[in-house]
Structure 1
Amino acid sequence: MTSSSKPTKDRVTYLRHPFLDGLSVLTASAYHEDFPVHLHDEYSLTLVQSGRETTVTPQRELTALSGSISLTPPNVLHANPNRNGSSYGFTTLYLSPDVVHYLSPKATARLREDSVVLQEPHLFAALTAWAAGPHAPERELIALLEQLFRSSLNGNYPAQDSPSATEKSWLANVTEYVNQNLEDRVYLDDLATVAGMSRYHFLRSFRREKGVTPLQYVNLCRVERAKKSLMRGNSITGAAHEAGFYDQSHFHRFFLRFSGITPGQFLAGSNFVQDHH
């Protein structure tokens, strides 16, 4: 999504539910924008209700047509470009890793590093009906999600190249350093030192592994930190400062670009909706 985009409330809605560890639901219709490279702390389960959704990860590109379900694990950098400029409609459920592990430990072990597209018409219809509300009891949603993750284990997905132990070590060190220092300024030279590389070698290596520059990754992590802060009831200004954004317009622009909604819309939707059980 470009920084000039202005999603409206009637086109994009965000709600958080008081069950399944705060299940969040983002719904959009007649959506035209690109989502640039971003990440989530949760599993994102997208029901493509019209048009098509393209997902690009460091490993590959996937297309989910209307009636498909796209599933992306936590902390996987991915983009959703609008290849043909046509609008599409979708509903995305954001599920915490703990919830998915409870529903299907095998799925969390299998679905760790890349997105998948599932063709499950019955589950698609049932989950779409649930998202449209009024909502069925929580146990019915749990049963649907358990079926979905069981189905995800049956797919034949392309093999992925696993990073070596050395690569895992420096990447883990860098990401840990970033998450521990989001409130402060994070400099490229410091990240290169943590990785044990020259600035130039680190920049190339990080981009090869993650698909974004180190400082782009820092801003993505800051947006996720701000979301958590808003969910805890913090103000928009407080969440911005906690995540390391000291310019409100800068924070608003990044949040909108990587989330598809404004901080105000996210904050309003984070107030738990009433359970219809």
Structure 2
Amino acid sequence: MLLMVSVLMLLTGCVISGITMLKRGQRCLERYCREPYGQGDWMSETGTDITIWRAPALQAELIRGRFVDYAYDVHTHETACFALLTAGSIRIRMRGNEFMAHQGDLYAIDADEPHAGWAVDDTGWRLRTLYVDMAHLRQLVRERPGVPEAALAGPIIRDPDVAACLHALHHCSEINGSHLFRDQAYLSFADKLLARHVTQRRSAPPPGAELAAVRRVRDYLDEHLEDTVSLIDLATEAGLPQYRLFRAFERLYGMTPHAYQRQARIRYAMRLLRQRRSLSEAGLQAGFADQAHFTRWFRRFMGVTPGQYQRAVG
């Protein structure tokens, strides 16, 4: 019993003196306990539905969503991604393999790690996702001995402790509950994750003329988002035959040059939307031919329209 009370104090931020408990921490715990994995008032909704918000105190972006008849094309994120499956299952393809995550599992993907995802069956999946820079998580626990500069071991993490911490901080951020509860859960999440679920970084490709050429092409795409670019243009920039460039680019970045260009355009548009630029300006400056084209690809990438994203995080 004493151990149980200690655990509750750690996870909820409750301070017990005699029989007195901070009411706010208790309310936050009660809210958390009313929404175990896979339950909650949002579960009765049909179709794909996504809520997204920024949490400045966490230096993170968060998503709660339900996905039906939905699939993610091969893409990467600018930060690490931690997604807790609260219902359903999802298949993930990355590193040349397929993985499956089920309710209660967490999948963790490093920044710039190419991956794709789709439902296992027609019921889809529900998740709570945290996007945060790994450097920030390491900073949270910098006093901890042996904090590694390492890669996530994932993609699938089956660790109830880590999952519970992520669920707790995510739910409390959404309802604007106890800041102490949220911060302690965040700290515990970072501590357990870095202690249990990292590995040595995979070695970078050896330097060489081809590697330098492919990186020039990537930079060229980043710098010419508004331009119409052909594979001939890229091959000329790289000084390589088209086929050789195409295969080398895909091997290094896990996606084709066209897929990378589309993703770079979406990322740039997201930055403009966070700066409160108009939807039309963001779409045009990011290189999309028209608003319909912009909206279609943004929604396919993010699950929400540009307007919904801007209202949530701008």
Asked whether the equivalents of residues 37 and 258 of structure 1 are also in contact (C-alpha less than 8 Å), the reply is no
Question: Which of 185, 189, 209 does residue 145 from structure 1 map onto?
Answer: 189
Where does residue 120 of structure 1 map in the other structure? 159
Which residue of structure 2 aligns with residue 82 of structure 1?
119
Distance 1:136 1:119 in 2: 27
**Equivalent in the alignment of 1:177:** 220
Q: Are positions 1:165 and 2:204 aligned together?
A: no
Give the Å deviation of 1:139. 2.8
Aligned with 1:17 (options 55, 64, 69)? 55
SS at match of 1:81: strand
Provide closer, same or farther for how the CA distance between residues 154 and 24 of structure 1 changes in structure 2, counting only shifts above 3 A.
closer
Deviation per residue, 1:75-125 (Å, 9 max, x gap): 22210022433321101111135424524688774227x852212202212
Tell me if structure 2 keeps the 8 A contact 1:36–1:79. yes
What 5-or-longer segments of structure 2 have no aligned partner?
1-44
Equivalent of residue 72 in structure 1, options 103, 109, 124: 109
TM-score when scaled to structure 2? 0.73
- Alpha-carbon offset, residue 152 of structure 1: 4.5
- Give runs of aligned pairs for residues 244-263 of structure 1, distance below 5 A: 244-263=287-306
Q: Which residue of 2 aligns with 1:111?
A: 151
TM-score under structure 1 length normalisation: 0.82
Q: Quick check: 2:214–2:248 contact (8 Å CA) kept in 1?
A: no
Superposition deviation, residue 170 in structure 1 = 2.9
Give 1:8 deviation, angstroms: 8.5
Distance 1:168 1:98 in 2: 26
2:77 corresponds to 1:40 = yes
Q: Which residue of 1 aligns with 2:33?
A: none
Name the structure 2 match of 1:3.
none
Task: Flag the 1:32–1:108 CA change in 2: closer, same or farther, 3 A.
Answer: farther
CA RMSD of aligned residues (A): 2.8
- Return the offset for 1:30: 5.3
Superposed CA offset, 1:42-70 (max 9, x none): 11110111122222124322222211111
In our comparison, the structure showing a higher alpha carbon Rg is 2
Counterpart CA distance in 2 for 1:121 and 1:33 is: 27
Partner Cα distance (2:57, 2:166) in 1: 16
Percent identity for Structure 1 against Structure 2:
26
Measure how far apart 1:201 and its partner are: 1.8
Corresponding residue number in structure 1 for 2:132: 95
Please say if residues 56 and 78 of structure 1, whose CA atoms lie closer than 8 Å, have aligned partners that are also in contact: yes
Q: Is the 8 A contact 1:182 1:243 kept in 2?
A: yes
Gaps of 5+ in 1: 1-6, 272-277
**Letter matched to residue 110 of structure 1:** A
SS in 1 for 2:166: helix
Structure 1 residues 132, 142: CA separation in 2 closer, same or farther (over 3 Å shift)? closer
Counterpart amino acid of residue 34 in structure 1: A
Question: Secondary structure of the equivalent of 1:241?
Answer: helix
